[in-house]
Amino acid sequence: MSETTATLYEQLGGEAAVNAAVDIFYRKVLSDHRINRFFDNTDMDKQAAKQKSFLTMAFGGPNNYSGADMRQAHAHLVKKMGLDDSHFDAVVENLAATLQELNVPQNLINQVAAIAESTRNDVLDR
């Protein structure tokens, strides 16, 4: 396949890239004082699996992304813990920092950030 037709997911390195990114990303999120309280009561194994699904989607990989699921999964955080744009921004920032740490070229990072951005209104339930 020539480079011009490779998908974003292929250019990033597919599933191996997701696996490389997921632990780095999750560690950044859990260490980030702006947002880590949202994860205090989560089961870490299940959460890591969810992060992997999310990253696969954001990397342009095969997914069954459902806006309704995303909405439902975060609705209680919006309602009870005040999840808002600032927290969403922090997650996107951690995602970009993860990719920088893995030496992903900036133009690909921008594409990933754009896909992540497309989930904002679902996550924030509006």
Partner 1 sequence: MSSHKISVNDREIVCESGETVLDACLRENVDIPYGCRQGACQSCMVRSLQGPPPLAAQDGLKDVLCHQNHFLACLCYPQQDMAISISSPAEFFTEATVIEKSLLNAETLQLTLQCKETMDYYAGQFVNLKRADGLTRSYSIANNRLHANKLSFHIRRLAGGRFSEWAHQELNVGDKLEVSDPQGLCYYLPTQQENNLLLVGTGSGLAPLAGIISEALHHGHKGAIHLFHGSREMDGLYWIAEMQALAAQFPNFHYTPCISRGDAPDGVAKGRANDVAMTLLPSLKGWRLYLCGHPDMVHQTKRQAFLHGAALQDIHADAFHVASATLD
Known binding-site residues for heme equal 74
Nearer to partner 1, 44 or 81 (CB): 44
Q: How far is the CB of 14 from partner 1 (least distance, A)?
A: 12
Q: Which residues of 72-94 are buried (b: 16+ CB within 10 A; e: fewer)?
A: eebeebbeeeebeeebbebbbeb
Indicate the annotated binding residues.
Answer: 74
In one-letter notation, the amino acid at residue 26 is Y
Place of tokens 């998908």: 7
Nearer to partner 1, 50 or 120 (CB): 50
CA-CA distance, 54 to 52, in Å (whole number)?
A: 5
Please report, as ranges, the residues that interact with partner 1 according to CB under 8 A.
19, 23, 26-27, 30-31, 44-46, 48-50, 52-53, 56, 62-64
Q: How far is the CB of 126 from partner 1 (least distance, A)?
A: 24
